[in-house]
Chain A
Amino acid sequence: MAQVSSIAEEQAPNPLSASKSVLLRISRFNPETDESNKFMEFSVPYQKWTTVLEAILDVKKHFDHSVAVRYSCRQATCGSCGMLINGKPRLACFTKISELNSDVVTVEPMNNFPVIRDLAVRFERLFDTHHKIKPFLIRDDTELESNEKEFLQSPEELENFIQFANCIKCGLCNSACPTMTTDSSFVGPQALAQAYRYVADSRDKGKDSRLDIIDESHGIWRCHFAGSCSQVCPKGVDPAMGIQFLRGYLLGFRS
């Protein structure tokens, strides 16, 4: 009988047999009612493919639906679910719990952003600085007036900026930037990387106006090249490299 029972146990599908559990610590903070944040802890089962976002949504579904988190695409495209995961800015949908090699996963809102509630932060400053650097092609002519229907570009010209066009505006670079912490007027690595993206675009004619915008007391020169922006970028944009290229234009090394 014992042998049969054992076989029966082996054959029975058990969905949790391969899963482990992790202690998920979620920062809770409501600026309207709380003076400081506190952490709530949940034991959450996970598989090797479970992402931190899925674990948070599991908590919302089974333990506490009031946890505030912003998310949308779940595939590192929309840039909504940026947060501090075990102290490092990451996308929750792009971070697997199994890759963290820790029994405890602590999630907090991103640094350098005002908190709306819990893990959700305000993006106004990021969008303002992004808008400030004119994130669009500037030309004297327009597509409607031109004889050509497309602004043609060679593969080599595309190569100059395509890496910087991958920015999803998740804000992880601004969260990691030490200058953003102390200088509330600093334009930030996200906007500077996007400035380079358009300055390096052969179709764009707005280089001088963009360089004027970032060449001010809280502009590009306040970057200390810590490089943390490039380290945390989930899309491989490398804002620090873009900033150095832009400095090359301003110092006369590039034209």
Chain B
Amino acid sequence: MKESTIMKIHYGTALASVGLVAVHILMRLTTGFSDSLSYENVLANYQSIPYVVMLELILILLAVHGFNGLRVILLELKQGRVYEKAVSYGCVVGMIALIGYGSRTIIMTNMGMS
């Protein structure tokens, strides 16, 4: 993939994350702050399908943005063909693993398996 395409995704995920995380934080205002973080209320959030979809989107956006940012930092830290391939593939694997684990948590909680 061209670097410009990757960076378009990088900037796009950053902007989208800011928007969705803002909605996520505003949702905390619907109840009192301490109430919104109580165990029952957090679990209740996962029963709302639109909210679950938004959480899943935030997870994907932040994972893509974060791991690409990590890749860029590591590429600037050290150079070398083998190292750069390891960093690039490592970050893709890490991103997929994080999204997989986070999605598992979201789905299990939604299904009442917590």
A217-B84, A251-B8 given; A182·B3 CB < 8 A? no
State which size class the interface on B falls in. 10 to 19
Residues of A within 8 Å of B, CB-based: how many?
A: 15
Q: What residue of chain B has the Cβ atom nearest to residue A185's Cβ?
A: B79
B57 to chain A, nearest CB (A): 23
B49: interface (CB < 8 Å): no
Q: In the complex, A185→B75 CA distance in Å?
A: 10
Q: In the complex, A216→B79 CA distance in Å?
A: 14
Pair A183/B76 contact, Cβ less than 8 Å: yes
Enumerate B50-66 residues with CB–CB distance to A below 8 Å.
Answer: none
A135 to chain B, nearest CB (A): 21
Summed over the interface, the residue pairs from A and B with CB atoms below 8 Å come to a total of: 31
B77: interface (CB < 8 Å): yes
Pair B4/A182 contact, Cβ less than 8 Å: no
B89 to chain A, nearest CB (A): 13
A106: interface (CB < 8 Å): no
Residues on B with beta carbons closer than 8 Å to the beta carbon of A183: 75-76, 79
Give the contact stretch, choosing among A42-50, A163-171, A218-226: A218-226
Chain B residues close to A by CB (< 8 Å): 2-4, 7-8, 72, 75-77, 79, 84
- Knowing that A185-B79, A215-B4, A251-B7 touch, tell me 16 more A-B residue pairs with CB under 8 angstroms: A179-B76, A182-B76, A183-B76, A186-B76, A215-B3, A216-B3, A217-B75, A217-B84, A218-B79, A221-B3, A221-B7, A221-B72, A222-B72, A250-B4, A251-B4, A251-B8
